[in-house]
Amino acid sequence: MTRNIIKNLNTEKLIEFLRNQKLDLNDEDFSCLRSQKISGLNFLQLERSILINGCKLRVGPAVTLSNLINDINTGEFSNEKLIPVLNDIKNSQWIYSRYFCTFPFNKWSLEHYKKWILRNYPRSKKEPAENENEHDGYNVYAGYNAMLKGDASIFIEMISEYHRSKSLRELRGYNEGSFQTAVELLLPKNGWLSEVRLMADSTKRSGEGRLNFADVFVNGVNKRGRASSVLLELKHITMVGLLSGATGKWVNNPSYESLEDLEAKLENETEAEILDRTYFYWCKGEEKCKRVKVGKIISDGVNQLKRYLSIMQKGNINSRKTSGVCDNRIKIEKAEGLLRGILLVSIGSNRILIRYSESTELHMKFTISSC
């Protein structure tokens, strides 16, 4: 999630993010980044030599930023550092999912959460029993356990419920990072990892396809007691991009009526009709608007998921392999295990398309390290 959010920041938002990290940088350092038009996307590809020679930063700030970039790219930089309130609320040992579904981001705080809990769930003055983990009629583990068995239908309904709680105005700015946040908040906090680090090809240089990052890794045991792991690849098709595709030009500030009309059409269209829709997106690298069919986005997502699964199946990276898992949050042992992949594609507020990979039986099992 962290990389997805940061890579979408423009220069000023990136600088605001860096200020909030209390890195002992000053206005002169930020001016260097601003003068070189460093955005979140290219910030994550900067090496120390470029920071010094290209951005003209002094050695101290360059080392600081280089270490931060490495932490983000390797997954060491936690989501809680990006949005500190998430960790506070999760650690309250209460059902946090419904809170995030009910209130917009700018309302989130630990104090607001406590007041909401006490107002709506008076019994929470003492910790709830384990079997009280309910989320609007769903046990919070229901979607998670079903996914470990290869069925994402319950989890999709939980996501759809979250989307239905949002207004069309809120969904106008909803992006892939927002979608990933929603997915992660609806999973048990000890049953998943985000941005899993995979070595795609150790012979390549950083920034040239050396590393891949899988969106969400879900891990646990299925009903037969067998270790089961699921890779989730997430895509979000924005309302603005779909509306622009329908009109044939980029719509910068769509009216509420146009969004409402599009939402109604999406709800009634067949999957084939949605796949045939034209979608507009902004390409930062080329600094222009590009068009693509929704079906192509899904096809590319399926292929991306297959590549990630292929890398996972190779186990830990070592000197004899050019690809494999290189994330110290995942422990790999010799044992019988299952691995499968699921592509979730969010379209508007009411449609989520899904693609399953075949499950693969492995002579290894993945567990989430407790350290």
Q: How far is CA 20 from the centre of its chain?
A: 21
Give the three-state DSSP class for 223. Answer: coil
The residue ranking higher by pLDDT, 56 or 287, is: 56
The DSSP annotation for 195-210 comes to EEEEES-TTSPTTTTS
Straight-line distance from the first to the last Cα atom of the chain, in angstroms, rounded to the nearest whole number: 20
With residue 288 as reference, give the H or E element that holds it: strand 288-293
- AA letter at 141: Y
| 278-283 and 227-237 beta bridge pairing | unpaired
Is the predicted pLDDT of residue 81 greater than 60, yes or no? no
- Is 0.85 topped by the overall pTM? no
- For 10-66, how does the pLDDT look when each residue is reduced to its tens digit (9 = 90+)? 888 888 888 877 788 998 999 999 999 998 888 989 999 999 999 999 999 999 999
Q: What are the domain boundaries of the chain? A: 2-77, 85-132, 136-368
- For 92-135, how does the pLDDT look when each residue is reduced to its tens digit (9 = 90+)? 444 455 565 566 555 666 667 666 666 655 443 333 334 434 44
- Determine the pLDDT at residue 364: 93
Helices marked H in the chain: 2-6, 11-20, 27-35, 40-43, 48-53, 59-74, 79-82, 85-90, 97-102, 110-120, 142-148, 153-164, 168-172, 176-185, 239-247, 256-268, 271-275, 294-312
Spatial distance between the Cα atoms of 174 and 237, rounded to a whole number of angstroms? 9
Q: With contact defined as beta carbons under 8 Å apart, do 235 and 344 qualify?
A: yes
- AA letter at 15: I
| 320 band by pLDDT with thresholds 50, 70 and 90 | confident
The residue ranking higher by pLDDT, 89 or 324, is: 324
CATH topology of domain 2-77: DNA polymerase; domain 1 (1.10.150)
Range picked from 65-74, 153-162, 305-314 for highest mean pLDDT: 305-314
